[in-house]
Amino acid sequence: MKSILKACLPLLLVAVAGGSGTAIADDDHSRRLFIDRDVDTFAVLAEGVKFPEGITANPKNGDIYVATFEGGAQNKLLRFDRRGRLEATRVFGITPLLGLEFDRINRKVYIANVGNFVNLPSKIQRIAANFNGSTAIEDVAEIPSVGAPAPRTVGNPDTSSDTIYFQAFARVPNAMVLNRHGNVLYISDSFQGAIFRIDDPATCDPCNIVMINHDPLLATAGFPPFGANGLALSHDEKTLFIANTGDDRVLKLDLTVPPLTPDSVSVFAESINGADGLAIDKRGRVWVAANQADEVVALNEKGKVVAKLGEFRGIRGNGTPIGLLFPASLVIVDDEIFVTNLALPLTDTVTGDEPEEDVSRWTISRLKMPRH
C-alpha cells in the first residue's frame, strides 16, 4: 500500500462528487483509493462516562446505541436520537460491556456482557429497544468455557516454521451479528478464539448456544490482545467476516460447511492495524475500524483497501479527541458511519506515551460514506 501511495503522489488529485474526500488515482482510473479525513463529533458522553466500545443502530428511527467498557465502574448502555441527544441510560453495574447488535424485527438490543473480567459469568443479554433506566435486562445465554484453540503453525520464508500456543481461557464475547431474519445470532469470543451461534435468540428461553468454529486463526498472541472480534455477514449470508485485532487481519468463515469443519476459516485481508469492529455496506464493502491506525478502512470483495476515512488530530481543550482515537466499533446508517472512540490507554509501564491518557471526555464520531 505504501508503494501505491508513493507512486500516486505526483499524479492529479481527483475530486470525488458528493463529498469532501479525495480520490488518489493512478493511470488506470478504474483503481482509486478514496481518502477523506473529515470527522464530525456526533455526541459527547456525559462527564464521568468513559470508554464507549460497542455500537448499533435502529435503522428505522436512527437511534444510536452505545455500550461502555469501564471495568469495575458503572458500565452503561446509552441511547441517542438521530441528532446526538441522549435519550436513555441503563446501568449494568460492574461487568464491562462490549459489542451490541440491533434486532429490527423484534425491536431488541443484544449486549455482550463480559463478566469474566470481574469473576462473573460472561453472557449475552437483551433489552427492549425503547429502554429506560429501569427496563428489565434479559439473559439470553451464558458463554460456555471451551478453552483456547489448538496451536497455530506459521511458516517462515526460509521454509522453517514457528508454533504459537494459546493459553487464554477467559470467556470474552466481543461482537455479534444477526442474519436478515433475526433468527440466528453469531457471536465472537476474543480470548477463546471461538465463534458461537444462537438460534431464535429473541424467543428462546432458555437459549442454546452452539460453538460453530474454534480455529487457531481466531486467537492471537499479538497486540492489542484480542483475537476474534468484529463480525459482519455477507449479503448472501454464506460468509462471516471476522476481525482479528491482535493479528491485524480480517478473516472469513465459510458458513456453507458444517460446524467445526477444518480449514473453513481463511485470511481475507492483512495489515489492518488493530482491526476491530466490522460493518458491511449495500455494495458489499467490508468497513473496518482500525483501532491502532485511528481510521476506518473499506475492503472490496477481494480484501483490497479501497477507502480510508478519518484520522486523529489531537485533543481539544475540553478533553475530547479531535477526529478518531482508538475507533472500536462502527455502524452504518444510510450514508453515514457512526464510530465509538474507545480512547483506552493500553500501556501501563510508561506514562505520557499515549494520547488516550489525555482524554477526559469521550465521544462518538460520524463520517460520510463515499458515494463511489
234 near 250, Cβ under 8 Å? no
Give the pTM.
Answer: 0.91
Question: Average pLDDT, stretch 239-253?
Answer: 98
Please write the tens of the pLDDT for every residue from 30-44.
Answer: 468 999 999 999 999
Calculated CA dihedral for residues 326, 332, 334, 336, nearest 10 degrees: 10
Q: Report which of residues 27 and 186 the model is more confident about.
A: 186
CATH architecture of 38-300+308-368: 6 Propeller (2.120)
- The confidence score (pLDDT) of residue 32 equals 80
Please determine, for residue 28, whether its predicted confidence score (pLDDT) is greater than 70.
Answer: no
Predicted confidence band of residue 240 (pLDDT cuts 50, 70, 90): very high
Q: What is the pLDDT of residues 189-225, one digit of tens each?
A: 999 999 999 999 999 988 999 999 999 999 999 999 9
Least-confidence region, from 1-15, 50-64, 287-301: 1-15
Q: What is the mean pLDDT of residues 97-108?
A: 96
pLDDT score, position 71: 75
Inform me whether the pLDDT recorded for 21 exceeds 60: no
- Dump pLDDT digits (tens) for 129-146: 999 999 999 999 999 999
pLDDT at 4: 39
Kindly report each contact of residues 169-172 with a partner whose C-beta sits within 8 Å and lies 24 or more positions away, as own/partner: 169/145, 170/116, 170/117, 170/122, 171/114, 171/116, 171/121, 171/122, 171/143, 171/144, 171/145, 172/98, 172/114, 172/116, 172/117, 172/122, 172/226
Residue 8 has pLDDT above 60, yes or no: no
Please give the Cα distance from 258 to 283 (Å, whole number). 28
| Span 305-317, pLDDT tens digits | 999 999 999 999 9
For residue 372, name the pLDDT band (cuts at 50, 70, 90): confident
Measured between alpha carbons, how far is 29 from 32 in angstroms, rounded to an integer? 7
pLDDT at position 3 is 41
Q: Which residue, 241, 233, 239, 238, is CA-closest to 182?
A: 233
pLDDT value for 155: 94
C-alpha cell belonging to residue 17: 462528487
Residue with cell 471451551: 146
Instruction: Please tell me the predicted confidence (pLDDT) of residue 255.
Output: 98
Please enumerate in sequence order all residues whose Cβ is within 8 A of that of 75, keeping only pairs 6 or more positions apart, or say none. 67, 68, 69, 91, 92, 93, 94, 95, 96, 97
Look at residue 261 and tell me whether its pLDDT is greater than 60: yes
Q: Is the pLDDT of residue 72 over 90?
A: no
- Residue of 336, 55, 300 lying closest to 175 (CA atoms): 55
Give CA angle at 277 (276, 282), nearest 5°: 135
Give the domain ranges of the chain.
1-35, 38-300+308-368
CA distance 270 to 360: 33
Reduced 3-state DSSP string for 242-262: EEECCCCEEEEEECCCCCCCC
3-state SS, 199-226, equals ECCCCCCCCCEEEEECCHHHCCCCCCCC
pLDDT per residue as tens digits for the range 314-335:
999 999 999 999 999 999 999 9
For the beta carbon of residue 355, count every other beta carbon within 10 angstroms. 16
